[in-house]
Structures are given as C-alpha cells and as structure tokens.
Amino acid sequence: MKTGRRSPHLARGGDDGQRVLAGVKRDLEKGLIPARVFGDRGLYELELRRIFARSWLFIGHESELPNRGDFAMRYMGEDPFIFVRDAEGVIRVLFNACRHRGTQICRAEKGNAAQFTCPYHGWTYRNDGRLNGVPAKHLGYRKLDLAKWGLFSAAQVASYAGLVFATLDPGAIPLADYLGKYRWYLDIQLKLTAGGMEVLGEPHRWLVDANWKQGAENFCGDSSHTQMTHRSALNVGLIGASAAGAPGAAYGLQVNECDGHAISIRQQPRGQSVFWEYPEEVTRLFSAERLSDAQFDLARRAMAHVGTVFPNFSFLHVGLTDSLDRPPGAYLSIRVWQPRGPGRTEIWNWILAPKEAPLEYKRRAYRLGMSSFSPSGSFEQDDVAIWPGIARTASSLFAEMNDVKFNYQMGFGENFDVAPLPNWPGPGVAIPSNAGEGGLRGFHWTWYRQMTAGNR
C-alpha cells in the first residue's frame, strides 16, 4: 500500500508489541502468523497509533446525511466523532469533545441539529464546528477569541462514490491514492446505476469477543471456511455452493496485491448473466456507462464479491434467499470492524441497494440483509460463534509460552500449482481458485508494513 509522510508521535507504542513484531516478517515469509498478533495488548496499542491514526478509515455513506444538519455518531479507532452535513452542505467529521473541558458534546446517535451545545458549561458550536457562543463571555471570557476555539476535526475528509473516509494524519496521501487501483473493483459495486448505491435503514451494530483483524482478513478471501462454518445454510439451499466459495477453479478467483487491498470473486462462465441475482426490474437499470467493458462483464457474471479495504472496511455483494418459497435476490453490505480492545470488536453493518431500485425491492433487499449478515442473520451467527475461540487462543498463556503460530499456508509455495491469470483485465494478481489464503497473507503483509513504518 502507498503511504504518506508520518508524524513522529505516531511511532510510540508498547515494548511488548515491539517484541511480537520482531518475528512477524520471518513468520510471514513462511506463511505463518504468530497467535499473539490477535491477542497482545501491547500490539493493539501500537495498532491504534500506527494503523488507525494513519490510515483512511470509513466513516459512513453520503446517503445517511441527506439533509443539511443531519448527523450521526461515528468512531475512528476508539475515538468518538460526529459525522455531519453542515449548514452549507459540506460533510464534516468533528471530534466529539468540547474545547472547554473535553466533555462529549453530542450524545444522540443521530439526528438533525444546527448547533451542538455542551451539557457541562453550555459552550455552543455550529454544525461546521465553529464556536458560536460561550455563556457569561462578557464576564469571564472577555478576551476569548471564538475563532480559535472551534471543535477539532479529522485531519482530512474525502468521499469516493458516496463512501466517506477520514484520516487523523495530516500527512496522509490523498484518498484516491490510498485506494489506488482497487477503485476498479469498488466501481463495480457502486457505479452500476447513475444514482449509485444508497443505505437502507440504520447500520446494525453488535459486539463480538474477537480481534478486529479476524473479520477484516476473512473478507480478503477466506472461501474455504464457508463449506464448514456455513454448512447448515448450504444444506438448506439459502445459497449455492459455488456462490458461497466452494474450493476449486470452476467459479472462483482471488485478487491480491492490489495496493494493499484484496477481493474474492465468485462468477459464472463468460456469456452468463447473473448480476448477483438482482431481479429484472433492477438489472434493467444497470448500465456500462460508468464502467469499462471488462468491469461490466464481471458484474454481469457475478455471484458474490467479497473484499476488504485495509484496515477495517469490508464489503459483501451477494445473491441469496431468505426462504425457499421466495426467489433469490441481492444486496450490497458494507461494514467496519471497529476495534474495542485486543479481544473485542464492534461490527457495524450497512445494507445498500441501487438508489433507483423500486421501493418494494429495497424492502426485499433489506430483509435479505437482515436474515443473512446481521446480528440475527444465519451466516453472521455462524462466524461470530467461531471467532471468539481464536481470540481466546491468541491471548492464552500457553500460546505465549510456546510461541504458537497459526498456519496460513493454504495456496502457499509448493502447496499450490495454480498460476495467476496472465490476461486478467483488472489490477492486482488474480488467482483462478478459491483454494488459497493469498488474500489473508496479503492483508497481514500490509499490516506488518504499516506497523513497522514508524521504525523507518
């Protein structure tokens, strides 16, 4: 992944984390990951400084703030921010802390406000962050320059195809450069119609006793887990085995080494038209106007696209059904793996559909998302029952004492004889098989480079 210049204070971190990092490169070269990467407290503290304070992080979608004054609570790492469209229509990401004594000024999860007033001493800020009023200013703050005491904000805020990202690092490269060539794959998910995608309903949120990297790496291409973890959903026919990622070269491929990001693709052979199982009333809205011929062909043949933008933004574009009595349908899910400690993650999940899609289909897409990948979803419950066991192992005394390594060697070295596609039209390295963990290894290489960047 491309990186920008670094602020010196971002390099600090715990000594324990530094010791774990020392051997990670050597292990990665063998296709191994130290267990402590998923459970070490010192390493987690380093992650907050070297990854979450430096990277571009997903904040929300523009469609969540349709009106001026609309706002929602969001987080960057563990830090609270206000995601708001100000009175001029500009989207801002404001640090949720009063400049007077640091109290959280916004306590509502979402709403519409022209200004925010601190509940402690009444300092009032416009929705663009400017300090607007201080009680008794003429008595105790006669010389206070309001222009100098507005709310802090993220160092940079930028949008891409409706996705709003922000970074705390003023020296970070532009968002377009950070996403790099991976935008080719994002465009397929987001630009099929003139209006793009829009969020349906509220983001779902739930806590899991797992490390944030477990979900992020899973969406980089862990196709092999679906045949075991999600076996019950496959057995009853909620999704086809090929769309779920059955190992082999017939339907799937993994795209790695794409500016630090990865995607796993399940597709039909050329000439087939699937579009993730969207119905005809939706697919007739799709157009190649904003995509290349190769991109549109990939969308046409798509059964499932699953990917991660480093560090913790993932998406799932999939076709399935919530009942054998109903036809299949499709939706786009985007999510953030919010860190809440080395062994805890808060998952945020949004369900999206094409903006121009009929209202009835949007309701159908929302039901599909709720029934599959949400706190009560059939697929989601499978994953969150598995991941806590990894976090427990990673934080165990036994794993530390015995320097336990996890095996990430599927599709690695002599274990694999599938060559990359020589004429793949998109960016990155495309491997025509689901029987590999190259995307996961790539995720951890990016993680390692970011974690050691402060030592350069």
Q: Which of 124, 159, 194 is the last residue of a domain?
A: 159
- pLDDT at 72 > cutoff 80: yes
pLDDT, position 116: 98
Q: Do residues 346 and 204 touch, judged by C-beta distance below 8 A?
A: no
DSSP per residue, 73-139:
EEEETTEEEEEEE-TTS-EEEEESS-TTT------SSEEE-SEEE-TTT--EEETTS-EEE-TTHHH
pLDDT, position 323: 78
Non-local (6+) Cβ contacts of 408 within 8 A are: 31, 32, 33, 437, 440, 441, 444
Look up the domain containing 65 and give its range: 57-159
Rounded to whole angstroms, how far apart are CA atoms 262 and 311?
11
Calculate helix-pair angle for 183-190, 293-300, nearest 10 degrees.
60
Please check whether residue 251 lies inside any domain of the structure. Answer: yes
Strand partners, 304: 266, 318
Please check whether residue 31 lies inside any domain of the structure. Answer: no
- pLDDT at 247 > cutoff 80: no
- pLDDT at 9 > cutoff 50: no
Rounded to whole angstroms, how far apart are CA atoms 158 and 180?
14
Q: Residue 326 — pLDDT band, cuts 50, 70, 90?
A: confident
> Based on the domain organization, do 111 and 189 belong to the same domain?
no
Percent of the chain with pLDDT over 90: 77
User: Of 48-57, 357-366, 414-423, which range is least confident?
Assistant: 414-423
pLDDT tens, position by position, 145-191: 999 999 999 999 999 999 999 999 999 999 999 999 999 999 999 99
pLDDT, position 239: 62
Please check whether residue 188 lies inside any domain of the structure. Answer: yes
Q: Residue 54 — pLDDT band, cuts 50, 70, 90?
A: very high
| 124-147 average pLDDT score | 95
pLDDT, position 379: 82
Please check whether residue 173 lies inside any domain of the structure. Answer: no
| 386-399 average pLDDT score | 94
CATH of the domain at 209: 3.90.380.10
pLDDT, position 436: 87
Strand partners, 308: 262, 314
> Based on the domain organization, do 231 and 146 belong to the same domain?
no
> Based on the domain organization, do 147 and 230 belong to the same domain?
no
Non-local (6+) Cβ contacts of 13 within 8 A are: 42, 45, 46, 49, 50, 454
User: Of 83-87, 379-383, 417-421, which range is least confident?
Assistant: 379-383
> Based on the domain organization, do 139 and 198 belong to the same domain?
no
> Based on the domain organization, do 257 and 406 belong to the same domain?
yes
Give me the half-sphere count of Cα atoms (radius 13 Å) on the Cβ side of residue 227.
10
Residue 411: closest CA among 389, 447, 441: 441
**Could you tell me which residue, 438 or 384, shows the higher pLDDT?**
438
**Could you tell me which residue, 379 or 112, shows the higher pLDDT?**
112
Sign, CA torsion 13/15/20/22: positive
> Based on the domain organization, do 278 and 141 belong to the same domain?
no
- pLDDT at 250 > cutoff 70: no
pLDDT, position 418: 87
By CB atoms closer than 10 A (0-12, 13-18, 19+), residue 442 is buried
Strand partners, 126: 115
pLDDT, position 233: 64
DSSP state of 29: T
> Based on the domain organization, do 122 and 194 belong to the same domain?
no
> Based on the domain organization, do 136 and 219 belong to the same domain?
no
Could you give the maximum distance between any two Cα atoms of the chain, in Å? Answer: 78
Rounded to whole angstroms, how far apart are CA atoms 59 and 237?
35
> Based on the domain organization, do 76 and 203 belong to the same domain?
no
- pLDDT at 4 > cutoff 60: no
pLDDT tens, position by position, 180-223: 999 999 999 999 999 999 999 999 999 999 999 999 999 998 87
Please check whether residue 168 lies inside any domain of the structure. Answer: no
Rounded to whole angstroms, how far apart are CA atoms 233 and 55?
36
pLDDT, position 411: 87
Q: Residue 12 — pLDDT band, cuts 50, 70, 90?
A: very low
Cis peptide before 375 (omega within 30 of 0): no
Q: Which amino acid is at 421?
A: L
The pTM of the full predicted model, rounded to 2 decimals, is 0.92
Q: Residue 243 — pLDDT band, cuts 50, 70, 90?
A: low
CATH of the domain at 69: 2.102.10.10
Please check whether residue 19 lies inside any domain of the structure. Answer: no
Non-local (6+) Cβ contacts of 122 within 8 A are: 133, 134, 135
Output the six-digit token pair for 154.
């993220």
- pLDDT at 299 > cutoff 70: yes
- pLDDT at 14 > cutoff 70: no
Rounded to whole angstroms, how far apart are CA atoms 198 and 65?
11
| 376-405 average pLDDT score | 90
> Based on the domain organization, do 194 and 306 belong to the same domain?
yes
Q: Do residues 52 and 76 touch, judged by C-beta distance below 8 A?
A: yes
| 426-443 average pLDDT score | 92
pLDDT tens, position by position, 91-128: 999 999 999 999 999 999 999 999 999 999 999 999 99
Please check whether residue 44 lies inside any domain of the structure. Answer: no
Please check whether residue 185 lies inside any domain of the structure. Answer: yes
> Based on the domain organization, do 328 and 285 belong to the same domain?
yes
Mean pLDDT (the chain) is 91
pLDDT, position 7: 47
Domain count, the chain: 2
- pLDDT at 456 > cutoff 60: no
> Based on the domain organization, do 96 and 126 belong to the same domain?
yes
